[in-house]
């Protein structure tokens, strides 16, 4: 059974760097085809895809946030780390990590973590 859980600070000040960790079980990111993504949701708003990391260390970023995001993996600890620099109040959101599956024509997220609410405020 695949499970994921996000952890990190609940409050960060504007301009600070936000670091979130996704700890997962039930699969290995060293297995061909596997991937983990980060998605966020501001309060009362829609889901927004941020980034994705693949088993081969390939990475994809949302073009609008690419300059501020970094994603890494630690396969020995079954963890994925999201780093967001120069945070702003608009980055206040619930951040989810999710397990990615592929189809013949795309990819989707079949298992999600519970999410962690991060507030950016001075």
Partner 1 sequence: QSVLTQPPSVSGAPGQRVTISCTGSSSNLGAGYDVHWYQQFPGAAPKLVIYANNNRPSGAPDRFSGSKSGTSASLTITGLQAEDEADFYCQSFDKSLSGAVFGGGTRLTVL
Kindly list the residues in this chain that would bind partner 1 in the complex (CB under 8 A). Answer: 37, 39, 46-49, 52, 60-63, 96, 101, 103-110, 112-115
9 CB neighbour count, 10 Å cutoff? 12
What minimum distance in Å lies between the beta carbon of 121 and partner 1? 21
What minimum distance in Å lies between the beta carbon of 107 and partner 1? 6
3-state secondary structure of 67: helix
23/62 with CB nearer partner 1: 62
What minimum distance in Å lies between the beta carbon of 31 and partner 1? 20
| Tokens representing residue 12 in the block | 């960060």
3-state secondary structure of 90: helix
3-state secondary structure of 108: strand
13/43 with CB nearer partner 1: 43
Q: Is the dihedral of CA 61, 65, 68, 74 positive or negative?
A: negative
């Amino acid at each position: 059974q695949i499970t994921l859980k996000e952890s990190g600070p609940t409050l960060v000040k504007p301009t600070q760097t936000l670091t979130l960790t996704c700890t997962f079980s039930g699969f290995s990111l060293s297995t061909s085809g596997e991937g983990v993504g980060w998605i966020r949701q501001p309060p009362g708003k829609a889901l927004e895809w941020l980034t994705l990391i693949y088993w081969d260390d390939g990475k994809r970023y949302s073009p609008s946030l690419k300059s501020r995001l970094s994603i890494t993996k630690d396969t020995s600890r079954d963890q994925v780390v999201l780093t967001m620099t120069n945070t702003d109040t608009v980055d206040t959101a619930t951040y989810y990590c999710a397990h990615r599956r592929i189809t013949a024509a795309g990819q989707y997220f079949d298992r999600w973590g519970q999410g962690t609410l991060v507030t950016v405020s001075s």
